[in-house]
Structure 1
Amino acid sequence: MKPRVALLGLGEAGYAIASGLSTHAHVTGFDPAWTDRPAGFTVLGSAAEAVAGAEVVIALTAAADAPGALASALGNTADGAVYLDLSTASPDLKRDLAATATAHGLTFAEGVLMAPVLRLLVKTPVLAAGPGAGRAAALLSACGMDITPLGGEVGEAAARKLLRSIVVKGLTALMVESLRVAETQGLEEWCYDHLVDTLTEVDGDVIRKLLDGTVRHSARRVAEMEAAASMAGTAGESAVMTRATVEVLRSVPGRGVPRFGTAL
């Protein structure tokens, strides 16, 4: 007999995961913004109907909608069901959700998607934490998902996701800023190709050298980034990310950089 899984939130990511799970599970879903389209799973008219009888409820909403999604499931789930929140929310919000779920007798797990869903679909890597993480991982992995349980501490998965986001989204913002200034200099193609070459070379050794070099040469790098910010300003760009880099580099002589592993 196929396991029963419910999805709350059927946007691009939720729809892709629900579709992939439907090969191995009986999948029901609900989304207040749902518009009729082909689906290999059952879309119902309310959250209460969708979660009824489900062994695992997956909520894949925006962080702002996560409390409402949980509230819609309370009192409507089967005994022993696990509620897996996959919103990109702060550890504090995840802990608040866990407290609410526990107070209503619902086993909670929090999880985060660690790659773009539209590329890997149901195989998108997920990190999960909280009391229900192991059970959710076992059931959903058997249905085609790639879930790694981290343990019982709610917020650990969210923290890892957001630490990654600081780098990935911050790097993206830096690239946007650099390319905008490059356009004003007629150097956008060179800048893009140089970004590709630079990022292709990044490995653990390069990262260690960047951190070590920042400790030893922070003053020089502050001056270099101030010059970059000045160039951007002359070109009519705000250089928000570049100026923020200046401030971080200025803090290094007093605070250093975190030391770990074989770095520094």
Structure 2
Amino acid sequence: MKKIALIGYGEVGRILGEDLRARGESVAAFDLKLADARGHALREHALSHGITLAGSHADAVRGAELIVSAVTASQAVPVAQACASGIERGAFFLDFNSASPGAKCRAAEAINAAGGRYVEGAVMTSVPPYRIKVPLLLGGPDAAALEPLLASLGFAPKVASEKLGVASATKMCRSVMIKGLEAMVIESFTAARHYGVEDAVIASLRETFPGIEWEKQAAYFFQRVIEHGRRRSEEVREVAETVREAGLEPWSASGTAERQAWVADLADAGLFGERGSKEFARSADWRMEADRILNRDEK
């Protein structure tokens, strides 16, 4: 049995915790949300799955063979720095976060200076459908050494490069498209709904891109952005930084981040129902959510 530490106990952290415990591994976790009103649900989840909750970053990682950091993009570097004081020499630190190559290099400096082995991990699609087997690109000098350990734990890793930043650049450049498509669908379909032309727009898209089920895809995009728009907006700001590091002005990525954050603001204001309820962000028809957006001033 290996001790594994999860830093970040949100959706991804809980999924990984469940799957690792199902394999009999010892799992500790820490999340800043444990200190506020959101902590009750996290404590209940940990208790039901046999996961030990720690009181700090350093307490969670102490004695762990593997640490997985799965927090919001803006916290990737601060979390690495906070974990450095407790990390065991030779322990692997797997950075799951959607951060720019530059941020990954700064996080690596903190971990490696403390004697840990930093490996960047680029999660290449949404975690929930795949759970622990989500396609995962690894990067850095210690990536090849970590790959067999991750495979033995049920992950689906593939080494992208021995050079830090390559794996995250792959994910970030992909996210210009994927997160941008989410924002564009919400903007396009909601505006089309206002003008009563949504069926014509979807018919045209279906003809141009016949491989996409636009009704189903739109419902999924609306659901994910309503539920996770805040986290997505932070990720896309890291995407914009990645584009900026390449010498380009990130007009598309910056606009996507603003649209994602805008939807998150509406969700936080209760426009789509009570966050955390069974009905929240679960509509199978995107039109219901688009109508809420269009009629928001009437609330």
Return the TM-score normalized by structure 2.
0.63
Alpha-carbon distance between aligned partners in 1 of 2:81 and 2:184, rounded to the nearest angstrom? 38
Q: What secondary structure sits across from 1:84 in the alignment? A: strand
The 5 A counterparts of 1:1-264 are 2-24=1-23, 25-34=25-34, 35=39, 36-39=43-46, 40=49, 41-201=51-211
In 2, are the aligned partners of 1:51 and 1:76 still within 8 Å (CA)? Answer: yes
Identity of aligned residues (%): 31
- Check conservation: 1:56, 1:136, Cα contact below 8 A: no
Q: SS of the counterpart of 1:88?
A: coil
Matched position secondary structure for 1:22? helix
| SS at 2:141 equivalent | coil
Relative distance call for 1:185 and 1:7 in structure 2 (3 A) is same
Structure 1 Cα separation of the partners of residues 173 and 5 of structure 2: 29
Larger radius of gyration: 1
**How many residues align structurally?**
204
- Pick closer, same or farther for the CA change 1:19–1:193 going to 2, 3 Å: farther
Q: Is the partner of 2:209 in helix, strand or coil?
A: helix
The 3 A distance-change label for structure 1 pair 165 and 3 is same
Using the alignment, how far apart are the partners of 2:208 and 2:138 within structure 1?
33
The 3 A distance-change label for structure 1 pair 199 and 21 is farther
Q: Tell me the SS of whatever aligns to 1:61.
A: coil
- Measured in 2, the distance between the counterparts of 1:121 and 1:166 equals 23
Residue type of the alignment partner of 1:37: E
SS of equivalent to 2:187: helix
* Cα root mean square deviation, aligned: 2.1
The alpha-carbon deviation at position 10 of structure 1 amounts to 0.4
Instruction: Show structure 1 runs of 4+ deviating over 4 A.
Output: none
- Structure 2 CA distance for aligned equivalents of residues 99 and 190 of structure 1: 53
Write the distance in 2 (CA, Å) between the matches of 1:38 and 1:177: 36
Mean CA deviation greater in 54-63 or 178-187: 178-187
SS in 1 for 2:28: strand
Could you tell me how far apart the structure 2 residues matched to 1:99 and 1:63 are? Answer: 17
Mapped partners of 1:49, 1:197: distance in 2: 55
Q: Secondary structure at the match of 1:108?
A: strand
Please state how far the C-alpha of 1:196 moved relative to its aligned partner: 4.4
| CA distance in structure 2 between the aligned counterparts of 1:154 and 1:137, rounded to whole angstroms | 15
Secondary structure of the residue that 2:110 maps to in structure 1?
helix
Contact 2:87–2:114, Cα closer than 8 Å, also in 1: no
Unaligned runs of 5+ in 2: 213-250, 256-299
What is the alpha-carbon distance in structure 2 between the residues aligned to residue 10 and residue 135 of structure 1?
26
Amino acid at match of 1:3: K
State the one-letter code of the partner of 2:119.
A
1:143 CA displacement: 0.9
SS at match of 1:154: coil
**TM-score normalised per structure 1:** 0.71
